[in-house]
């Protein structure tokens, strides 16, 4: 892979080129857009390697996916992974916004021209073969751009609006890859993805606060008498614990809303959906198990528990 996008180096002069290099510097070198597009086979290997090495839950879940669709899932995952990192790993909002613009240009080229990044080269085959619309891919970029300026959410409805762009598009992409295009399944998927996003938010309250972000709706914090000083202290008060009990139960309700989707898709995808849902619910169980204190210790699922969830999901669907 080449160094950062040479398009800017060639068209914008040395100062701009230096700025472009700085933007890419905080990210893996292989993320940069090369001068010349790699072959389709090289691009597919790139996506497969990224999926198999960056997210262990994805690798586990992929055991149950139809073999003929695995490469397509790798391609979609690689797009989502890099999009997320462009928005969250540069340490500079201005750089992230510029990189997301470059990435969106590559996405547009995937649908309308000739992309150069291996992820978009591979993804172009996926979107053409499976007729996947551009909307969900573009929606993710909307969420990551929003992250650069929006650090608080006043109401739960505001937070749901964020999930509409940050989480729900992923579920819709999975449905498209598996051949499902109807509104009913998409709505059920949205509920599951929103629930997973909420579970992740409640798991990472302390982590997100360290990044300057609060995803707990401010109206809920006010209702329970919790201010930012509690988050800053890292010590959970009784009021904070009650707040988290409320948020955990709310997330469980959203998992319940999406549960019918498991019965409306083919067996392999049903296992996958159930596995991720069980994982999200298990995060909520761990939070409850540690008394809803997510400030002093980040809730995490042990490897043994993860394996048990996989075996249980497989047993219930295959036997």
**pLDDT tens digits, one per residue of 233-280:** 999 999 999 999 999 999 999 999 999 999 999 988 888 888 888 889
Query: Whole-angstrom distance between the N-terminal and C-terminal Cα of the chain?
Result: 46
CA distance 209 to 213: 5
pLDDT category at 91 given cuts 50, 70, 90 is confident
Q: Is the pLDDT reported for residue 319 higher than 60?
A: no
pLDDT mean across residues, the chain:
88
Query: 22-31, 74-83, 108-117, 159-168: lowest mean pLDDT where?
Result: 22-31
The enclosing H or E element of 137 equals helix 135-146
**Residue 31 tokens, joined:** 């993320």
Q: Are 127 and 76 in contact (CB under 8 A)?
A: no
Of 14-23, 162-171, 203-212, the poorest mean pLDDT is in 14-23
Cα 113 from Cα 299, distance rounded (Å): 44
Task: Specify the fold of 38-149.
Answer: Farnesyl Diphosphate Synthase (1.10.600)
Instruction: Report the largest interatomic distance among the alpha carbons of the chain, rounded to a whole angstrom.
Output: 63
pLDDT in tens, 295-315: 999 998 866 666 665 666 555
Answer whether 300's CB lies under 8 Å from 216's CB. no
16: confidence class by pLDDT, cuts 50, 70, 90? very low
Q: How far apart are CA 115 and CA 37, in angstroms?
A: 7
If one compares 167 and 269, the residue with the highest pLDDT of the two is 167
Q: In CATH terms, are 38-149 and 151-319 the same topology?
A: yes
* pLDDT of residue 60 exceeding 60: no
pLDDT of residue 271: 84
- What is the C-alpha to C-alpha distance for residues 88 and 293, in angstroms, rounded to an integer? 25
Q: Phi first, then psi: give them for residue 45, nearest 5 degrees.
A: -65, -40
pLDDT category, 213, cuts 50, 70, 90?
A: very high
Domains of the chain by residue range: 38-149, 151-319
Per-residue pLDDT at 154 exceeds 70 = yes
With tokens 């300057």, the residue in question is 212
- Return the sign of the alpha-carbon dihedral for residues 148, 153, 157, 163: positive
Percent of the chain past pLDDT 70, that is, above it, reads: 84
* Mean pLDDT in residue range 97-122: 97
Mean pLDDT confidence for 142-166: 97
Q: Is 232 exposed, middle or buried (0-12, 13-18, 19+ CB in 10 A)?
A: exposed
**Residue 34 · residue 110 · CB < 8 Å:** no
Measured between alpha carbons, how far is 86 from 167 in angstroms, rounded to an integer?
16
Query: pLDDT of 275-296, one tens digit each?
Result: 888 889 999 999 999 999 999 9
pLDDT of 112 over the 70 cut: yes
Instruction: Specify whether domain 151-319 bears CATH 3.10.450.50.
Output: no
Confidence bin at 1 (pLDDT 50/70/90): very low
């Amino acid at each position: 892979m080449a160094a950062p996008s040479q398009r800017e180096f060639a068209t914008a002069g040395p100062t701009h080129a230096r700025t472009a290099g700085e933007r890419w510097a905080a990210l893996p070198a292989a993320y940069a857009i090369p001068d010349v597009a790699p072959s389709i086979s090289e691009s597919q290997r790139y996506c497969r390697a990224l999926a198999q090495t960056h997210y262990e839950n994805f690798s586990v879940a992929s055991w149950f996916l139809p073999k003929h669709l695995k490469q397509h899932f790798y391609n979609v995952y690689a797009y989502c992974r890099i999009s997320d990192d462009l928005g969250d790993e540069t340490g500079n909002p201005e750089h992230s916004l510029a990189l997301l613009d470059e990435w969106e240009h590559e996405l547009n080229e995937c649908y309308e021209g000739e992309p150069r990044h291996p992820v978009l080269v591979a993804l172009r085959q996926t979107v053409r073969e499976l007729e996947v619309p551009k909307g969900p891919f573009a929606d993710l970029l909307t969420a990551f751009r929003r992250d650069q300026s929006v650090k608080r959410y006043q109401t739960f409805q505001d937070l749901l609006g964020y999930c509409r762009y940050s989480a729900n598009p992923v579920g819709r992409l999975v449905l498209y890859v598996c051949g499902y295009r109807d509104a009913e399944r998409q709505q059920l998927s949205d509920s599951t993805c929103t629930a997973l996003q909420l579970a992740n938010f409640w798991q990472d309250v302390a982590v997100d606060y360290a990044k300057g972000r609060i995803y707990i709706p401010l109206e809920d914090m006010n209702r329970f008498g919790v201010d930012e000083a509690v988050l800053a202290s890292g010590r959970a008060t009784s009021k904070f614990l009650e707040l988290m009990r409320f948020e955990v139960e709310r997330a469980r309700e959203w998992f319940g809303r999406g549960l019918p989707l498991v019965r409306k898709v083919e067996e392999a995808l049903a296992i996958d959906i159930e596995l991720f849902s069980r994982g999200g619910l298990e995060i909520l169980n761990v939070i409850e198990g540690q008394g809803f204190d997510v400030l002093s210790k980040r809730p995490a699922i042990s490897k043994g528990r993860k394996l048990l969830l996989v075996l249980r999901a497989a047993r219930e669907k295959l036997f």
